[in-house]
Structure 1
Amino acid sequence: MTITRRFLPALALAVLPATGCGTESPAAPADAAPAGGAAAPSPAPPEGAPGTPPPPECPEPGVRVTPGLVEAAMGLRVLDIQLTNCGTEPYRLEGHPHLVLLDADRAPVGVEPVEGSAGIAVVEGFDDAPRPLTLAPGESANAGLIWRNTVTGTGAPVVAEHAEVTPAPGAPAQEITPDGGIDLGTTGLAGISPWRAAEAR
């Protein structure tokens, strides 16, 4: 079985504002006071003002790992994993990420993904040789995790709720929680692709 489409997340649909054909009602002046003489609502405080939530911190060493969509076809699953340079310096990346799959209690499930497709299926990019990447601030790279959720009569099905992702040797691990988890069935097998530059949106 060959999957030809990439495992990167699907493009978000552009939502266009609706326009009406009827006559619009005249809008009240922005500074008009409501009935009863009460004062008009105050504008929202500017970003960074007291009471506004702070922006999310950028993890060390300046990159953020997040889970993307899971593509599914006839029992085959491919999870997109995205790494974004959220720091201020270029970030060099090469090879495959290292994953530790965890259950709901964050204990290892006993299945360690291997580099490449592991013979699970032929999917674009999984068995490519790793290439060095240098991500400028704001740029992203992707890797994919592949598995099957096949269940046989041998053993209990395994589901990983979380995964610890180590982007490169020596880098700190970051935890991700894919939507729906990683349902490995009784296969005991998963594969991981090398990092590659994210496609332009």
Structure 2
Amino acid sequence: MPRRPAPGPSRGRPAPATVAPALLLALVLALSLTACGPQPGAGGQPPTGPVTASAPGSATGSTPAGAPTTTPATGCPDPGLATSVGPVDGALGLRAVTLTLVNCGATTATVEGYPGLRLLDEEQADLDVAVVEEPDPVGNEPGLPVTAVTLAPGGSAQAVLLWRNTVAEGENAPGSYLAVTAVPGAQEQLLTLAVDLGTTARLVVGPWRAPA
């Protein structure tokens, strides 16, 4: 019986091609350089120079030349002096409360003398009350002169307000609000303050002084 020849490569399909290692390495390097290169910007060109983020509502995000760097606090009354009051300290019918004045403006201010006061009822109508100015209403330093107080921005001064809750025959005069004018010509400020004057109808106020 004749012997068949050993099987050889198929003549119908060519053997797969082999890529040379050097050519494969070159292709990998080319792809890496393409992925890491600059990406095109608008119009297909890469962006140049730093990118600056603008603040909302502005064109460049920078402060215009000559613009103020600070502004007075919101609600700061004219001319930049804000008042507050309280709490009330009472003993044996004598009431005492401290008025505080703060320079809420951006410049130095000077105050001298007494605050202007009006006592109002719950409907903010004026009460018939005598306001008596005393250089030393508490009596701690008799003969202390009334002097000017210079307030830097944020600085403060204080004044003492006294009254007696003495009840005798007559009509009582309770107060609910205190209208304060810090210095002559300043904007009047309305403060909530319960004043139980009894029947004396008399308020004693001291001058503005630097805090102790």
TM-score clears 0.5: yes
Shift of the alpha carbon at 1:68?
2.0
> What is the letter of the counterpart of residue 112 of structure 2?
E
Pick the structure with more strand per residue: 1
Shift of the alpha carbon at 1:168?
1.3
Pick the structure with more helix per residue: 2
Are the counterparts in 2 of residues 126 and 194 from structure 1 also a CA contact under 8 Å?
A: no
1:57 alignment counterpart: 75
2:88 alignment counterpart: 70
Q: What percentage of residue pairs aligned between the two structures are identical? A: 41
Are the counterparts in 2 of residues 116 and 127 from structure 1 also a CA contact under 8 Å?
A: no
Are the counterparts in 2 of residues 126 and 144 from structure 1 also a CA contact under 8 Å?
A: no
Q: Distance in 1 between matches of 2:92 and 2:117?
A: 24
2:155 alignment counterpart: 139
Q: Distance in 2 between matches of 1:114 and 1:98?
A: 11
Deviations 1:93-152 (CA, angstroms, capped at 9, x unpaired) = 00011101000011111003110179xx75336873211011000110000111001111
Question: Larger C-alpha radius of gyration, 1 or 2?
Answer: 2
TM-score normalized by the length of structure 1: 0.65
Q: Distance in 1 between matches of 2:142 and 2:101?
A: 17
- Secondary structure at the residue paired with 2:88? strand
> What is the letter of the counterpart of residue 144 of structure 1?
V
Deviations 1:67-101 (CA, angstroms, capped at 9, x unpaired) = 12211110000111000001101111000111010
Q: 1:187 aligns with which of 166, 186, 200?
A: 200
1:160 alignment counterpart: 175
> What is the letter of the counterpart of residue 183 of structure 2?
A
2:47 alignment counterpart: none
Q: CA RMSD in A?
A: 2.0
Are the counterparts in 1 of residues 135 and 144 from structure 2 also a CA contact under 8 Å?
A: no
Q: Distance in 1 between matches of 2:207 and 2:197?
A: 20
Mark the runs of 5 or more structure 2 residues left unpaired by the alignment. Answer: 1-72
Shift of the alpha carbon at 1:166?
0.9
- Figure out how many residues of one structure are paired with residues of the other and give that number: 140
Instruction: Return structure 1 stretches of 4+ with deviation > 2 angstroms.
Output: 121-129
Higher RCO structure (Cα 8 Å, ≥6 apart) = 1
Q: Sort the Cα spacing of 1:100 and 1:127 in 2 relative to 1 into closer, same or farther, 3 A.
A: farther
Mark the runs of 5 or more structure 1 residues left unpaired by the alignment. Answer: 1-54
Q: Distance in 2 between matches of 1:107 and 1:125?
A: 35
- Secondary structure at the residue paired with 2:113? coil
Q: Distance in 2 between matches of 1:77 and 1:194?
A: 17
Indicate yes or no: 2:127 matched with 1:109.
yes
